[in-house]
């Protein structure tokens, strides 16, 4: 199949490279000339394990190419995917669909035969209807169908998710479009990946509903973690105990500083706004988003309490900045609220992240960025483990402790057991665990 992917961001580039790896002929289009030049030179604009090699292999084999001009590729395509960004719109929280609609107008002008136009970007219910209207308005005689095919890719595991998905959701209103998309995804039938065909609006809602449910699951266990601290229970054991119930499952039951990233914050907010506009509010999701925002802001207070109530003039070291490991994505990362809260309280911040520091510098210029995990500890009143990168899971805690001004480890991901940290001389503060004697004394102050 001849496929065009509009957009070379996270969704577009991963999807385009994986489609090419299936044997399809793929052209990725982006207006950003610098990004296209980087891709043509063998680089990739995002960090995703395995992506650079996947792109290079398929470019070398002639199945994947890049351009800034969509006219020729779209005119020759069987399928055109729209994979542009849909950020939260400034001011009201609705999904900003300006990039999707601009792509639809350009696609409409370039169509030269029956083509399936697919929204792969995360879009609110009814977006496919508007894309169809725009294309028809630009090119009344065009032969095309509009479909919805939301992505379900986890950053850090996107290639595996694309090639071995839990499910493929396709929303169509046209039998010809269904047949074309069956052919696009035929290589995955060998893996017995279930393909769920639905109406277009249903498909659009599935993506938002899935992300909102996972966000609620994270927020639920974070609230249970707070209760665990109050009643002297252990949230990790609670998570295991409820996760072994097959109706609940173990995933997304890891207590921490709150969710962030490119999907959950904007998608929960967009779903709330969509529901409100249709007069059918989703109160659980509204509450989820509010609790998560409060939690991220509260983490700075947890650090301040751990060092005795004040960070004025003191250095705090941060291990990890990205919202999760194996990505360079800083969007809505909990570290942003933590850093800003600590700086407003008078702290100096030293930080290290294996992949996220370039993006972090633009957002958090006040931070001192260092080149390894141990350097964050130099003169620090506390070290805060924010992102659970693998290289932070087996640190030499004694070596870390020796470089610090005071022995406080605030472990927001429960990577280390309290006993292990205390043997290395640390006062350890975890999430959702029984208060240790020193913590109990401080809590009573």
- H or E stretch covering 138: helix 127-138
Class of domain 199-445: alpha beta
| Token pair belonging to 313 | 């003039």
- DSSP states along 45-86: SS--TTHHHHHHHHHHTTSEEEES--HHHHHH-SEEEE----
Provide the pLDDT for residue 220: 98
- Cα torsion 204, 54, 181, 198 to 10°: value is -30
Provide the pLDDT for residue 439: 55
Nearest to 103 by CA among 146, 40, 64: 146
- Cα torsion 292, 293, 294, 300 to 10°: value is 100
- DSSP states along 237-270: HHHHHHHTSTTT-STT----S---SSSHHHHHHH
Q: What is the pLDDT of residues 190-200, one digit of tens each?
A: 777 789 999 99
Provide the pLDDT for residue 443: 46
Q: Where in the chain is the domain with CATH 3.40.50.720?
A: 2-198, 199-445
0.95 surpassed by pTM: no
User: Domain 2-198 is classified in which CATH homologous superfamily?
Assistant: NAD(P)-binding Rossmann-like Domain (3.40.50.720)
Residue ranges for the chain with pLDDT beneath 50? 440-441, 443-445
Provide the pLDDT for residue 434: 81
Provide the pLDDT for residue 303: 97
Provide the pLDDT for residue 437: 59
Q: Which residues are catalytic?
A: 263
Q: What is the pLDDT of residues 50-97, one digit of tens each?
A: 999 999 999 999 999 999 999 999 999 999 999 999 998 877 888 999
| Token pair belonging to 424 | 């290395």
Burial class (CB in 10 A: 0-12, 13-18, 19+), 434: middle
The rounded Cα 249 to chain-centroid distance in angstroms is 21
């Amino acid at each position: 199949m001849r496929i065009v992917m509009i957009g070379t961001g996270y969704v577009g580039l991963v999807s385009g490279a994986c489609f090419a790896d299936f044997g399809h002929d793929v052209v990725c289009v982006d207006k950003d000339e610098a990004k296209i030049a980087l891709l043509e030179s063998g680089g990739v604009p995002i960090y995703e394990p395995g992506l650079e090699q996947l792109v290079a292999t398929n470019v070398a084999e002639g199945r994947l190419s890049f351009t800034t001009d969509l006219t020729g590729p779209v005119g020759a395509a069987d399928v055109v995917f729209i994979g542009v960004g849909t950020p939260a719109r400034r001011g009201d929280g609705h999904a900003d669909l300006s990039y999707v609609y601009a792509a639809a107008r350009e696609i409409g002008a370039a169509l030269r035969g029956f083509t399936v136009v697919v929204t792969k970007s995360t879009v609110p219910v009814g977006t496919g209807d508007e894309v169809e209207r725009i294309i028809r308005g630009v090119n009344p005689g065009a032969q095309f169908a509009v479909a919805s095919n939301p992505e379900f890719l986890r950053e850090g595991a996107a290639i595996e998710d694309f090639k071995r998905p839990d499910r493929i959701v396709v929303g169509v209103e046209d039998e010809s479009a269904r047949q074309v998309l069956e052919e696009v995804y035929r290589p995955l039938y060998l893996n017995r990946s279930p393909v769920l065909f639905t109406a277009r609006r249903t498909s659009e809602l599935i993506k938002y509903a899935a992300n909102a449910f996972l966000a609620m699951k994270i927020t639920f266990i974070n609230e249970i973690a707070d209760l665990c601290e109050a009643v002297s229970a252990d949230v990790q054991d609670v998570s295991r105990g409820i996760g072994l119930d097959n109706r609940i499952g173990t995933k997304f039951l890891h207590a921490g500083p709150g969710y962030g990233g490119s999907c959950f914050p904007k998608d929960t907010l967009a779903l709330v706004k969509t529901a409100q506009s249709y007069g059918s509010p989703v109160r659980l999701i509204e509450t989820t988003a509010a609790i998560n925002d409060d939690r991220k802001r509260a983490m700075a207070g947890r650090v301040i309490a751990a060092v005795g109530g004040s960070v004025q003039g003191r250095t705090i070291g941060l291990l990890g900045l990205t919202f999760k490991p194996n990505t360079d994505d800083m969007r809505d990362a909990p570290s942003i609220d933590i850093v800003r809260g600590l700086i407003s309280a008078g702290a100096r911040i030293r930080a290290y992240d294996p992949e996220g520091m370039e993006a972090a510098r633009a957002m958090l210029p006040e931070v001192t960025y260092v080149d390894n995990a141990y350097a964050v500890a130099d003169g620090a009143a506390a070290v805060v483990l924010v992102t659970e990168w693998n290289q932070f899971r087996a640190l030499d805690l004694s070596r870390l402790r020796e470089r610090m001004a005071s022995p406080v480890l605030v472990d927001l991901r429960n990577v280390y057991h309290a006993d292990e940290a205390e043997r290395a001389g640390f006062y350890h503060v975890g999430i959702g665990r029984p208060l240790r004697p020193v913590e109990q004394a401080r809590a009573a102050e």
